[in-house]
Each structure stands twice: as C-alpha cells, then as structure tokens.
Structure 1
Amino acid sequence: MGDICLAVDIGASSGRVIKSTLMNDKFSIEEIHRFSNRINREEDRCFWDVEHLFSEILIGLKKFSKTGLKPESIGIDTWAVDYVLMNNKMNRAYPVYAYRDSRTDETMDKIFTHISKERIYEKTGIQFLQFNTLYQLYEHVKTNPEIKDNVNMVLMIPDYLNYLLCGETSIEYTNATTTQMYNIGDMKWDEELLDIIGIDKDKFPQVVQPGTVLGSLTNEVKDEVNLEDVKVIAPATHDTGSAVVSVPAVDDDFAYISSGTWSLMGIESDNPICTNKALSYNFTNEGGAYGKVRVLKNIMGLWLIQEVKRLLNDKYSFGELVILAKESNSTALINPNNSRFLNPSDMIDEIKTYCEETGQTVPSTPGDIAKCIFESLALQYKQVLIELREISNKTINKIHIVGGGSQNRYLNRLCADYTQCEVYSGPIEATAIGNLMVQYITLGKIQSLAEARKIINASFNIEKFVPAKLESAEEKWSRFLELP
C-alpha cells in the first residue's frame, strides 16, 4: 500500500486536501477535497474567513477517513504575511485582515521615521512590500491600541490552523522570516522592530524549523474526523517555501519560479544576500527548508490574468486566453510590479489606462490583453534573472517553473526565449508535493532533500523548453526597461 501522508495546501483562491503515497521510490498524489477561498470585502476593508478554511480541512479529513486508510501525518501550508491575533482564552480576537487591504498603502514611510530602510534590510533581509506583516501590525495596533493589552499571542495563518488541529502553538521558520520582523542574522524576533509596532516579543511563540512534529490531532478533532494517531508536522508552512522544496533540480545552476497568483523567482543560497545591491533591487531573503535561504523577488504573476478572466465573466478559460494571446498582434507591455496592479477595481481598465499613459497602442481585445500580460511577465523574468546573477555571482543556466502556472506552455516558451535559459516546467502541485516531502523526511521515509528531488523527477512529467531566438526580443526588452 505504501506510506500515506496528507497535505493541506491553501492559496488565495482555493484550498486542497491531498493524499500522497510513497512506495518503491515512486510518489503519487490524489486530491481528496477541494474548496474555495476568497477575500471577503466589507465596506473598504479586506478579510479572510479562517474558520471557513478550518471547517473545510475537517471536511477533507472526514472524506479521507471514509477510505479506511491511515495517514501517518498531516501538514498545512498557506500564503505568508497574514496573521491571527489571539486573546487570553486563546480564541481569535479580531477579524483576519487580507494582505490586499489598502490600510498599509502609506505605512512604510511611517515606519521609516523610526528606523531606516537600510537598517530594516540589514536585520531582516526582506524585500519592501506594503503588505508585509510589519506594516500590517503597525496599522492594526495604531487603530486598535488595546491590542497591546488584550492580545495574548500572534500566530500566522497556517500556525493558527495547526493550533486548531493539535492544540500546540508555534510559528514555523519559513513563514516567520516573511514578516519582516524576524532577524535573519540573530535567528530571533527583532525587539527593535517589535517595539516600533508596540507588541511585546513574548506575544510571539517559539519559532520551529520545517519538519518539526508539533503534536497529534486533538481529541475533539479525532472524534469529528474519525482518525487516530495522526502526527501534525510543520512543513515549510509558507507555500513558496514548500514549492521550492519540490523543485526537481539535480544540480545547483538553476533559478526557480513558483508560478501561481504570484510569481516568486529566485535561487537557493547557503547564506542571506543582504548587500546594498540586493536592497536596491528589492530582493528578499526568506528562510528555506534544510538550512537554505530563498533569495527571491515577488512578481505580480498570474493574478493579472486571473482578474482579467473574472472581469470577462469567465467567458474564456485560461487555455482559451492563451490561444487568443498567440493570435494577437498587440505589442503593448506593462510593468507587472507597478503597484497600480496590486488590487485595482478593474484590471482590464487599469492595463488599458497604463498603456495609454505610456504612449503605446492600447490593447483592445481579450487576446491583446492576455498577450500583453504574458509577454510582460516573461520580460520581468528576464530582468529578475539578470539581477539574480549580479547579486549572487552564480551561474544560472536553467529555470525551473513549478506550480499551477507551469501548465502555461506559452508563458514557459516566452520565458525560455527571453531569458535564453533552458526552462523546465513541473510539477504542477508543487506546494503540496514539497509539503509532503518534508513530512516523509521527518518520518524517515526519505533521507534528504536531494533524494526527495530525485523521487519527484522520477514521479512526474517534467517538460523541457529549449530557448529560440526572437526577432523582436531586443526591441521589446528596450521598451520594457523604460516602463514606469
């Protein structure tokens, strides 16, 4: 039958409970339960329904228990930066803000009156994004000063879900580092930054490494889902951390792109790269599994096309939008990381307005809009690749694209052609696979990260794209570099 583990993988739009089987060095996965997730908008604020997420996890576990099989462990991963405030009775004390909420639009400048940008980067190595936990908590405490007294603990979202599962509190390392409050040199919460926010360091539980056994299901959860003796293991709870574990590389001359709502592009490093050049390029140094540092940059990613699809009332599938993009003659480009694309009221109008303001022919059809997005993303990948080579002095000949976005063969081809690197796409369910591999290593079923990657390579279809020369590449690259 093989060794069975469960992964709960939750993204910004959906979540999954996935079963894995490891047998004879072959790895397979099966989706047990899929559920929706979305930002709830109340007046001008954005929140997550974390109780809904936990109820869906329980539904997935109940479905699995009906198979009669016994899992050895379960692990949860989600997106980063968002948090849950707990009261003295260890219940959620406040609504859970979503990172796309606009309350932190001007917060970075407020923080910089207390401490310089350079000093924050020296301490944390984290790129400056307006939704980092540092800025979210600053605004939350400023608006609700009673938080200083009536909040007992701060948990990140996957750690809150783990607490509901097993009753144990901790914050997993890969997620802790994304907050921009964790000192990556001292390997502890930075008291100077916490003082600026106004929350005592004792409100943050211990930080644990990926692969830590947190405990077992509580008696209440056991009774509800009819499962016994299941270990709760913290994988890399930051979904990108888990996705990077799944990169099926056999050597180290690669960059990765974890492609989904966001495109997270970077390299693995043995040490943080917190140089002035890395700061100027706004690279982040996030904790990774097994002693690695994820030196990467956030790129707006497929959020752009997801919003376009939604605004077109889902008239076209993603595959159909790719076909329309291939047929388009549009030459329009955008800077995907311009903050105006973070959460506009209408993405299509925002792209058209941007193109008009930058003196370009405005894309008019769905295919034009889609082509603009895909070509712009590929050019952004080229720019980040050049910067990665510069700050790391690393030879990068290959790019591994993992996650749901790896199914977009058109974007994969553009990535290969614009970067002139070999591109390898897959696995698709990268985050869940990385989550599960950490569990198997913890259980002693797999001996190392290198062995895990070999198993992934042998178990999933990894497609290779060899770069070709594009006649228009240099002209588009020159125009792209001029965009605001």
Structure 2
Amino acid sequence: MGDTIKLLAMDLGASSGRVMLGLYDGNTLRIEEIHRFANTPVYVGGHLYWDVLKLFHEMKKGIQRAYRAHGKLRSLSVDTWGVDYGFIDKRGMLLYSPHHYRDRRMGSHRLGLEALLPPREQFSITGIQPSLINTVYQLFADFQDNDSLLEVADTILMMPDLFHYLFSGIAAAESTIWSTSGLMDAVSGEVSTEVFSRLNIPVGIVPQRVQAGTVIGSILPVIQEELSVGSMEVIAGASHDTASAVASIPYSLKEDAAFISCGTWSLVGMETPKAVITEKSYEYGFTNEQCYGQSNRLLKNITGLWILQELQRNWAEAGKYVSQGQMVELAETINHAPAIIDPNDELFSIPGVMTQRIREYCERTGQQAPYTKAEIIRVILESLAESYRHTIDEMEEITGKKINIIHMVGGGIQNELLCQLTANITGRKVVAGPVEAGAIGNIIIQLAALGELEISGGKQVVERSFAFKTYQPSLVKVCEK
C-alpha cells in the first residue's frame, strides 16, 4: 500500500461552503472538514449577487489550512449549485459579481424569450424544464438589459468553472454543470447552437468543453506563492453538486432505485441511460441533467430545507432561535401535520416570513392553518416527504420502472425524522448516506481522474468508508444497516 493521497473538495451549496480533505490510503477514504463558511448573497441596487470573491478567499483559506496541517496536496476540484455564472472580459478579468438565481431581473424578459424559444421547444431541445432561474433566462435578460455586454464580455463561466479559472487561469466548460443551463442539446451533449442562434447570443462566449473528470491545469504560481503551498492539479470533476452527490451513491441495483439529494433544495430523481424527453415528462415537470460518465439524471427540483432554514432565520431575527435539533424534537411531539403544502409553490420561492406564508397557503387551499411551532415544522417535513412520494410515483409512470429503494444523501439526512417520514409516506425502504455526498463524490472522481482509482471501484470504497442508515416504512424510527 502506497502513501496516503490527499485531495481537496471545494463543495459549495446555496447557503454554505466547505473545504473538505480527502485521505485515500488505497483501500478506504476518510473525509475531514478543513474549513466551513457561510455563502451569503448580497443585495446591491435592487439586485441579488453572489459574493464570489469572498467565496474564493474562503476556499484559499481552506487550502492554506489543509497544507499546514497535512502537507503536500495532490489536487482540488470545485462543485457548486447549478444555473448561475459569471462573465470574464477580454482582459481575462471577472466583469462583475455573478447574479443569484433568486434575482428578479428575468421576470420582465420572460415573454420576450419565450416568443423566440417557446417553453415546449426549450424542453425538446435541451431536456431542461423551463424556469426563470435557468441560465438561458438569466443570460437573455443580461444581454437585453446591457447593450454593451456583447462588446465587453468574452467568456461565460458557470460557477464551478469560474472558480477553476480563478485557481488555474484556464477557462473550461464542464459538462455536468452546463447540463443545468438550458443551453445544451440533450441528445448530442454539446452546446445548442439552435438556442444561441434564436436568442441572438454569440455561442463563442462558451469556452472549450470538457467532460467530468478532466485535469485542466495546476493552481497558478501566484496563488502558490500567496498561500505558501506547492503545486496542485485543478480538476473539473462532476462540477454540479448533484452530479457529485449522485456519484457517491453505492447502488446495489441502480435500475430500481431513486435518489434524493437533500439540502436547501431537494433533487429527486433516478439515473437513466439517456435523456427522457416525452410529453409526460414535460407535463410532470421533470428535467434532464448529465451524470459523471455521461449518463442522464431524470429529476425534479423541489424547494427543500430552504423553507425550514428560512423559518429558522425568521425566528432568530425575532430573538427566538430554534436549532435544527430542537425543530425535530418539536415536530416529534405531534403525530400528524394539520395540513400539507406544495413546497414548489411560488409563495415559498423567495425570502420572507414563512409562518405567514404557510398560513396563507393553507387558508387559500381550504386547510387548517398551523399555529404552534411544532405544527408548522411538522407541516414542512410531511409536505417534503409527500412531494417525494408524488415525484417518485410520477417517475415510475414515465419510465415504466418499479422503484423499490430510495437513496437519500446530503446534509438533510441528518434530520432523521424527515428520512423516516419519507420511508413511511412513500412506502419504500430508504437508505440514508453519505452525509457529505457532494464532497465524497467530488473526491472519488478526482481519484479516477488522477488514475488512482477505477471509477467502478468507487462504490466499494464508499461502502467500506462511510456509515449508512436504513429506514423501513413503519413506525420504527431507525434501523442500523
């Protein structure tokens, strides 16, 4: 057995970021959190932006801490949420901070875009469900609002591609993150010249395409000097965080399994050999994104623990902070929620007072409104589990496949009540784990890119290295695997 290989996964979610160290000894993988930081958007002039330079600073801080504690690091890779991007100008500099997908600038341009590219045609070309947050809507709005953008913007980089560029100086468009954009052809897997042409946006702003698991360069000498660290490879892994998370799942049988990547968003889906572009999948609101290895993820985005997080923020601002653990304890004091909400209702899509919005939704739909904290939390958790059940039932209808097991991954699985409710309400066995799925998948793909691991062996490494819990559809809370 050789020396331990040390790698860094920069795993950024919509509310927080982590620099995770992977230690691989040739048999098992150990994960260590090096640095965790908030990812807080910033309002400027009525628009919402990501504080991208602060995020880059925090990632560099994580590299420095890892190097000081562990010495030589082999590589790094960044994975993030989808759809958002930044512009690089003709001098190679970041043009301005990337907009947040919850920014409202797209609304006034929706009709203009859809006149040129109707929603049904968007889906048939790209396999992506039309949504105002999609890159295609954001990009169209940017070019409509800024006449000079064509003159100054040289390259568009999705968020992980942007961070890889800041680290390495090399611009590349990685496939899994670009598959979230609504700008790729679902059949060929290439950038859709049809979409760019219809919207009168130059396709030349897209840099060279690379597949997930590509070594694109090394960290810049100036960064090595700044941080007092040695050279490290920069790898474009499965740069979309869901693609990384799914790459960590040790399926026993992929064909009869669904996955739920559970965090601020809940991504509910299954892997398929190719994109599922049918009338029924469009009608039911499913989208298609690329996996590591170029297979397909048929999935639906559901507003996830964002609602609970926003509720927690509301109470904290009122001086009544309730921890996640306390929320679960409160929800367990009652047996059933008095109402069920649709987490994807527009009412819950932007920051605001969630208690008021939940009550408003219940009144609008003729249901009993929750009033105690326990009732409100229970409504959210049961509503999420019910939305999972509905989505999985739809996937069975669309694909003709029977789904017998659900793999839940991500930070949300630490909420054991949500996992048990998912098993109870869906009537299916739930296997929960790993928690740090995005970082683990990120590191497994880096190891494969470096030639240190056959990707087919990643499943065994994950099974040997991490704990899992199984939840049966019953009143028994947790059964150890």
> What range is the shorter-chain TM-score in?
over 0.9
Aligned to 2:240: 238
Matches within 5 A, 1:165-314: 165-252=167-254, 253-313=256-316
User: Which amino acid is the alignment partner of residue 262 of structure 1?
Assistant: W
393, 412, 424: which one aligns with 1:417: 424
Aligned to 1:130: 132
328, 334, 338: which one aligns with 1:322: 328
Give the whole-Å Cα distance in 1 for the aligned partners of 2:71 and 2:118. Answer: 54
1:451 aligns with 2:457: yes
330, 338, 359: which one aligns with 1:331: 338
User: Which amino acid is the alignment partner of residue 200 of structure 2?
Assistant: G
Aligned to 1:474: none
- Comparing 342-351 with 53-62, greater Cα deviation is found at 342-351
SS in 1 for 2:376: helix
Give the whole-Å Cα distance in 2 for the aligned partners of 1:200 and 1:186. Answer: 19
Aligned to 1:473: none
Give the whole-Å Cα distance in 1 for the aligned partners of 2:151 and 2:75. Answer: 36
SS in 1 for 2:308: helix
Q: CA deviation at 1:33?
A: 1.1
User: Which amino acid is the alignment partner of residue 12 of structure 2?
Assistant: I
What is the aligned residue count?
469
Q: 1:76–1:158: 8 Å Cα contact kept in structure 2?
A: yes
Give the whole-Å Cα distance in 2 for the aligned partners of 1:107 and 1:238. Answer: 26
Give the whole-Å Cα distance in 1 for the aligned partners of 2:211 and 2:337. Answer: 47
User: Which amino acid is the alignment partner of residue 461 of structure 2?
Assistant: I
Aligned to 1:367: 374
1:465 aligns with 2:468: no
Q: 2:116–2:199: 8 Å Cα contact kept in structure 1?
A: no
User: Which amino acid is the alignment partner of residue 118 of structure 2?
Assistant: S
Give the whole-Å Cα distance in 2 for the aligned partners of 1:249 and 1:462. Answer: 12
Aligned to 2:479: none
User: Which consecutive unaligned segments of at least 5 residues does structure 2 have?
Assistant: 477-481
Q: CA deviation at 1:98?
A: 0.2
Matches within 5 A, 1:467-482: 467-468=473-474
Give the whole-Å Cα distance in 1 for the aligned partners of 2:356 and 2:46. Answer: 20
User: Which amino acid is the alignment partner of residue 158 of structure 2?
Assistant: M
Q: 1:10–1:78: 8 Å Cα contact kept in structure 2?
A: yes
Q: In 2 relative to 1, CA 96–290 (structure 1 residues): closer, same or farther, beyond 3 Å?
A: same
SS in 1 for 2:69: coil
Aligned to 2:78: 76
Give the whole-Å Cα distance in 2 for the aligned partners of 1:316 and 1:457. Answer: 34
331, 343, 348: which one aligns with 1:341: 348
Matches within 5 A, 1:6-45: 6-45=8-47
Give the whole-Å Cα distance in 2 for the aligned partners of 1:297 and 1:124. Answer: 15
- Comparing 173-182 with 99-108, greater Cα deviation is found at 99-108
Aligned to 2:446: 439
Q: CA deviation at 1:106?
A: 5.3
Give the whole-Å Cα distance in 2 for the aligned partners of 1:105 and 1:297. Answer: 22
424, 431, 437: which one aligns with 1:430: 437
Q: 1:141–1:197: 8 Å Cα contact kept in structure 2?
A: no
Aligned residues with identical type, % of pairs: 37
Two-structure CA RMSD over aligned residues (Å): 1.5
Matches within 5 A, 1:105-124: 105=107, 107-124=109-126
- Comparing 418-427 with 111-120, greater Cα deviation is found at 111-120
Q: CA deviation at 1:468?
A: 2.2
Q: CA deviation at 1:122?
A: 1.2
Residues 121-167 of structure 1 deviation map (CA, whole Å, 9 limit, x = unaligned): 11100112210000011111111121112111111111111111111
Q: 1:173–1:287: 8 Å Cα contact kept in structure 2?
A: yes
Residues 77-107 of structure 1 deviation map (CA, whole Å, 9 limit, x = unaligned): 1111111011110111133110011222354
Q: 2:52–2:97: 8 Å Cα contact kept in structure 1?
A: no
User: Which consecutive unaligned segments of at least 5 residues does structure 1 have?
Assistant: 471-484
User: Which amino acid is the alignment partner of residue 71 of structure 2?
Assistant: L
Q: In 2 relative to 1, CA 107–368 (structure 1 residues): closer, same or farther, beyond 3 Å?
A: farther
Give the whole-Å Cα distance in 2 for the aligned partners of 1:457 and 1:368. Answer: 37
4+ residue runs over 6 A deviation:
none
Give the whole-Å Cα distance in 2 for the aligned partners of 1:332 and 1:43. Answer: 38
User: Which amino acid is the alignment partner of residue 360 of structure 1?
Assistant: Q
